[in-house]
Amino acid sequence: LFERLAAIGAPVLNETLEHLAAGALTPQPQRHDDATPAPVLTREDGEVDPGRLEARLVEGRVRGFDPWPGVWLRRGAKRLRLVRAETIRDASGLPVSAPWHEPGTLVDEGSGGVAMIC
């Protein structure tokens, strides 16, 4: 997503600057009372605990925290970085659950990826 938006954003920025230089745009000041600053993310914000977050929230963090700070979880003394996440859904669109496994259990390590219960 980062790369796609960067490729789209550069031409739009150039076009906007040309319109601004030509006087075709009227600047609008930001209403500072309506602004809500986001907190600065740290590396620790990227840690997830699959036992505490639903799969859809882990999936959202993986997308939202890319490229910084990234998402990772602890597996023993090591960090496992998550680069892609997808909630597995049944035919009706509901997330599939596996109540016979503890959250954080790795249930598949095939095809270059890992399936994990959240």
- 19 located within any domain: no
**Residue tagged 């993986």 (tokens):** 62
Residue-wise burial string across 62-71, b where 16 or more C-beta atoms lie within 10 A, e elsewhere: beebbeeebb
pTM of the prediction? 0.59
Q: How many domains does the chain have?
A: 1
- 86 located within any domain: yes
- 1 located within any domain: no
- 80 located within any domain: yes
Q: What is the CATH number of the domain that holds 63?
A: 3.10.25.10
- 103 located within any domain: yes
pLDDT score recorded for residue 25: 92
Q: Average of pLDDT values for 65-85?
A: 89
Which residues have C-beta within 8 Å of that of residue 69, sequence separation ≥ 6?
41, 42, 43, 44, 45, 46
Structural domain boundaries enclosing 61:
42-116
- 35 located within any domain: no
- 14 located within any domain: no
Task: Inform me whether the pLDDT recorded for 32 exceeds 80.
Answer: yes
